[in-house]
Amino acid sequence: MRALFGIGILIIILMLTGCNALAQPTPTPTNTLTPSPPPPTATLTPSPTPLPTATPTPTATPFAPFEVKTAVDWVNVRANPGYLFAVQASVRKGTVFTVLGKSPGGEWIRVENDKGISGWIFAQLLESPVDLRAVPVIQPENVVTVMGRVADRTGKPISGIQFMITQGEAPNQQRTDAMTDPEGVFYAFMPPTVRGDWVVEYTAISCTSNLMDEKCNCIGGTCGSPEPSKMTINLPDFPALVFEWK
């Protein structure tokens, strides 16, 4: 009997111990994980932007004076570009000059030489190793300039058209001449003392005109003529001259 009592006491103690073990809360595990570092911020390396290619500025080639020779005997060197200006010298064929420039329209060339002669020579009286059309323009001083333009009804310029500008009658008539350039413009330079009425009149077509073929024949068989073919102006003041080629 006493043994049974002891066994019962032992069972009770074991039961109580088990209940205490069950009643204890399960400890919350401490989070010992190291948090993951934030993802690295992506650093974008920009692609190099190509620099715009600079367009090189064209450099004007400085004009280099060059030598020419007179093509015929007794070429007149004039004080300004035109037949109404004083003759500075009259020289023989083969006389050497240095080219300094040309007049507007390109018909007259500014020259000088080592003999002290300087002035303007009509371009067609010179032999040149260089195309005289490439010579820079020099504006003549102390002149009255008669200027006109010749074009067809579409506005196309007509080159190589010659005009004479006259005052009075022969034998005391004063006269100078001018021819249209590739832009269809002619320039007649006259002394600043000119006054009164002058007649501007069409006289001829050059073989170099854009109306002519390589054999100096009119393209299409007909050359035409300017309208008007003649007009009177009052110098030194006058309106711009316009001729229509028909």
pLDDT on residue 216: 96
Question: 65-139 — its CATH code?
Answer: 2.30.30.40
Proportion of the chain above pLDDT 70, given as a percent:
76
The 3-state DSSP class for residue 231 equals strand
Tokens of 6: 């002891």
Question: Which pLDDT tens digit goes with each residue over 98-124?
Answer: 999 999 999 999 999 999 999 999 999
pLDDT on residue 219: 95
Where along the chain do its domains lie? 65-139, 142-246
Report CA-CA distances (Å) from 91 to 67, 198, 213: 15, 31, 34
pLDDT on residue 26: 44
Name the least confident of 81-85, 148-152, 169-173.
169-173
Contact 137, 110 (CB under 8 A): no
DSSP code of residue 133: G
Q: Does domain 142-246 have CATH number 2.60.40.10?
A: yes
Could you check whether the bond before residue 236 is cis, i.e. omega within 30 degrees of 0?
yes
Type and span of the H or E element at 22: helix 2-23
CA torsion sign for 84, 85, 86, 90 is: negative
Question: Which pLDDT tens digit goes with each residue over 3-48?
Answer: 444 444 444 443 434 444 433 444 444 444 444 444 444 443 444 4
Mean pLDDT of 91-95: 98
Between 49 and 69, name the one with better pLDDT: 69
Question: Which pLDDT tens digit goes with each residue over 188-234?
Answer: 999 999 999 999 999 999 999 999 999 999 999 999 999 999 999 99
Mean pLDDT of 67-85: 98
pLDDT on residue 60: 60
Q: Are β-strands 161-167 and 196-205 bridged in parallel, bridged antiparallel, or unpaired?
A: antiparallel
pLDDT on residue 67: 97
b/e string for 47-65 if b means 16 or more Cβ within 10 A? eeeeeeeeeeeeeeeeeee
Strand partners, 208: none
Residue 177's closest CA among 218, 124, 240?
124
